[in-house]
């Protein structure tokens, strides 16, 4: 199984391209394609990358925000730091209050973009894996609600399961637009989808916007 995966990886055009263009991960192209389609990140933005290792999404975000923006990457696993002065790495569990407080401290309160390409730790038991996926998705949404500025954007990886539709319905009340998509660089075999929330509406503005 391991050797087959290695062979498939080296045949993968996005894996080869990442090596050629010096990106940390083939996942960089997922964010590039998502950003091209939805205009998620702009120069000068503050971006929080949840589940950042090995840094493919943070790398693209740094290119987009330029010297005037800030990128904060959070992951349980250690990964090579970026040299840019406007990048901040946190090693820890972003679902914990302690790490969330540290994020808020680094960004000065609010972010323009929250993004997550994180996957839960899977055990192979469908019901348990779905619950873990739901918990991770809910954690990302909760953080986004706490730190997104008005009209901010959210992009996150999700896996379809029993709670998928209710999650989307909930997001539609929090963002002006909610889109689901699967970028071309996402492996066809994968059940992953990406949810994009555009123009966040803080709680205080939601009732008046429903009328």
Name the residue ranges covered by the structural domains of the chain. Answer: 2-210
pLDDT of residue 18: 84
10-16 contacts at long range (C-beta below 8 A, 24 or more positions apart): 12/187, 14/185
Dihedral sign computed on CA atoms, order 61, 66, 70, 75: positive
Helix, strand, coil share of the chain (percent; to 5): 40, 25, 35
pLDDT of residue 76: 94
Question: Mean of the pLDDT values across residues 4-33?
Answer: 79
Q: Is the pLDDT of residue 195 over 80?
A: yes
In the block, which residue shows the tokens 């090995």?
Answer: 54
pLDDT of residue 1: 44
pLDDT of residue 210: 45
In the block, which residue shows the tokens 């993968």?
Answer: 12
Among candidate residues 123, 140, 193, 200, the one with its CA nearest the CA of residue 164 = 193
Q: Is the pLDDT of residue 161 over 50?
A: yes
From the candidates 30, 32, 157, 174, give the one annotated as an active-site residue.
157
What's the mean per-residue pLDDT of the chain? 89
Output the CA–CA distances (angstroms, integers) from residue 135 to 90, 93, 138, 147, in the order listed. Answer: 21, 13, 5, 19
Q: Is the pLDDT of residue 27 over 70?
A: yes
Question: Mean of the pLDDT values across residues 128-146?
Answer: 89
Pair of tokens at residue 15: 């894996």
pLDDT band at residue 159 under the 50/70/90 scheme: confident
Q: What is the pLDDT of residues 59-109, one digit of tens each?
A: 999 999 999 999 999 999 998 989 999 999 999 999 999 999 999 999 998
pLDDT of residue 57: 98
pTM strictly above 0.85? yes
pLDDT of residue 134: 86
What CATH number is given for 2-210 in this structure? 3.40.50.150
**Residue 72 near residue 103, CB atoms below 8 Å:** yes
pLDDT band at residue 44 under the 50/70/90 scheme: very high
Pair of tokens at residue 189: 């075999």
157 has catalytic annotation: yes
């Amino acid at each position: 199984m391991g050797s087959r995966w290695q062979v498939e990886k080296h045949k993968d055009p996005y894996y080869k391209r990442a090596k050629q263009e010096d990106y940390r991960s083939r996942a960089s192209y997922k964010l590039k394609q998502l950003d091209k389609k939805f205009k998620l990140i702009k120069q000068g933005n503050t971006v929080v990358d949840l589940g950042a290792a090995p840094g493919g999404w943070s790398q693209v975000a740094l290119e987009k925000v330029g010297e005037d923006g800030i990128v904060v990457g959070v992951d349980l696993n250690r990964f090579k730091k970026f040299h840019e002065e406007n990048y901040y790495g946190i090693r820890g569990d972003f679902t914990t209050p302690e790490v969330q407080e540290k994020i808020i401290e680094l960004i000065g309160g609010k972010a323009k973009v929250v993004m997550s390409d994180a996957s839960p730790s899977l055990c192979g038991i469908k019901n348990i894996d779905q619950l873990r996926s739901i918990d991770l998705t809910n954690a990302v949404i909760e953080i986004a609600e706490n730190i997104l500025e008005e009209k901010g954007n959210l992009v996150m990886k999700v896996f379809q399961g029993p709670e998928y539709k209710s999650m989307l319905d909930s997001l539609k009340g929090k963002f002006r637009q909610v889109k689901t998509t699967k970028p071309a660089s996402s492996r066809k075999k994968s059940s992953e989808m990406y949810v994009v929330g555009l123009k966040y509406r803080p709680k205080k503005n939601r009732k008046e916007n429903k009328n």
